[in-house]
């Protein structure tokens, strides 16, 4: 596989890939299964489809369906089937047109991607040929003020990808100053996390913080940025979104679920957008592909066989053309692995997760 030697950029596109991207998603000149207009442009879709090794008669799981970009590309590349999963109810509803145009080749399910193996089993597939995950928040979610993901629009401070659990407003209202600082520092990598947490606690003592603009204004008074830099509230909003949706724990569970559901030679492809996600994926694939050497002086111990073979020794990054077309792609990294014949391991990657208060504690008021 040529990707093993790549220095980080996707230097060549597979045949037919030039038609993918914004043109395909527009639904006018693209493949017949494009499913109509979509504002969200999938990132690194060309190397993702090549690394998935999409073939006729195969079954793939798109664990982060979103606007259906990866699913459309899979359906267009071969006469394959796709199980699309998304915890966002609106994403599933908006995918109805793509389901119809796929003529029985797409099953769309409202569920967390950490349950992707159970979803596959529910629809009669014990093993599948590939799993693709495109992490992070979609453009549609960011652009919808009522979802509360972005400070660009004033809206309720929600940030939930699903409909259950505490919202971001619940978190800023109930979490202690110390825990709030830890959340913002570890998940947002915000240097001024203590000052931000202190300002939030002081502000909520005066009145509830219920809107995105209110929170952004609070953060903006204590975090200073220079012209041209990111908005001062960016890292705080990222941290709250990741915490509210338990994104890192979901990712860790999804990787283990993919290991269980992939058949031998099945492919796992993951696209990440920040270092916290990428570190988990990188470590998982490194650990699962490592061959352990045991000293002959040690007593006999059982050494687990590698469950994956690395397809990307270094992450695949978008080229300049894709970044120019889609600025969202700038921070994206793609990693991939191929499943071996070894049985799945029991151990997960929870050791990589930061130690933070449990989201359930907020629901219980504690």
Apex CA 203: angle with CA 201 and CA 208, to 5°? Answer: 95
For the ranges 158-162, 179-183, 201-205, the lowest mean pLDDT is seen at 158-162
Structural domain boundaries in the chain: 2-139+248-293+303-352, 163-244
Tens-place pLDDT, residues 263-290: 999 999 999 998 999 999 999 999 999 9
pLDDT bin (cut points 50, 70, 90) of residue 227 is confident
Inform me whether the pLDDT recorded for 35 exceeds 80: no
β-sheet with 106-110: strand ranges across: 106-110, 81-86, 59-62, 128-134, 262-272, 333-339, 308-310
If you ran DSSP here, which 8-state letter would residue 228 be given?
Answer: T
Query: Does 2-139+248-293+303-352 match 163-244 in CATH topology?
Result: no
Determine the average pLDDT of the residues in 317-339: 92
Give CATH for domain 163-244: 1.10.150.170
In words, the CATH class of domain 2-139+248-293+303-352 is alpha beta
Please check whether residue 150 is in contact with residue 234, taking contact to mean a CB–CB distance below 8 angstroms.
Answer: no
Q: What is the mean pLDDT of the chain?
A: 83
Radius of gyration of the chain (CA): 21
DSSP 165: S
Stretch 293-315: mean pLDDT: 78
Kindly write down the DSSP assignment for every residue of 129-161, as one continuous string: EEEEEE-S--HHHHH-GGG---TTS--BS---S
């Amino acid at each position: 596989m040529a990707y093993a030697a790549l220095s980080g950029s996707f230097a060549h596109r597979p045949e037919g890939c030039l038609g993918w991207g914004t043109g395909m998603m527009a639904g006018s000149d693209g493949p017949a299964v494009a499913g109509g207009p979509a504002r969200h442009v999938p990132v690194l879709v060309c190397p993702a489809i090549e690394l998935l090794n999409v073939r006729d008669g195969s079954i793939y799981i798109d664990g982060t369906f979103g606007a259906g970009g990866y699913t459309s590309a899979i359906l267009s590349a071969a006469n394959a089937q796709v199980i699309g999963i998304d915890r966002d109810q609106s994403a599933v509803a908006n995918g109805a047109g793509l389901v119809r145009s796929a003529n029985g080749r797409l099953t769309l399910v409202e569920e967390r991607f950490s349950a992707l193996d159970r979803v596959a089993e529910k629809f009669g597939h014990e093993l599948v040929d590939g799993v693709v995950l495109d992490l992070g928040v979609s453009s549609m979610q960011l652009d919808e003020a009522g979802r509360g993901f972005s400070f660009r629009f004033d809206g309720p401070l929600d940030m939930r990808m699903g409909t259950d659990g505490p919202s971001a407003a619940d978190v800023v209202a109930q979490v202690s100053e110390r825990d709030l600082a830890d959340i913002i520092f570890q998940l947002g990598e915000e240097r001024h996390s203590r000052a931000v947490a202190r300002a939030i606690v002081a502000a909520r003592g005066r009145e509830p913080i219920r809107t995105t603009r209110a929170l952004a204004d609070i953060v903006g008074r204590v975090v200073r940025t220079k012209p041209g830099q990111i908005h001062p509230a960016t890292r705080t909003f990222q941290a709250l979104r990741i915490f509210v949706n338990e994104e890192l724990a979901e990712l860790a569970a999804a990787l283990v679920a993919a290991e269980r559901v992939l058949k031998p030679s099945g492919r796992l492809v993951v696209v990440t957008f920040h270092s916290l996600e990428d570190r988990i994926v990188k470590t998982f694939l490194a650990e699962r592909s490592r061959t352990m050497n045991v000293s002959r002086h040690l007593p006999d111990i059982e050494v687990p066989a590698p469950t994956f073979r690395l397809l990307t020794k270094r992450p695949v990054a978008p080229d300049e053309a894709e970044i120019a077309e889609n600025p969202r792609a700038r921070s994206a990294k793609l990693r991939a692995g191929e499943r071996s014949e070894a049985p799945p391991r029991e151990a997960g990657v929870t050791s990589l997760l930061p130690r933070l208060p449990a989201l359930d504690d907020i629901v219980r008021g504690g």
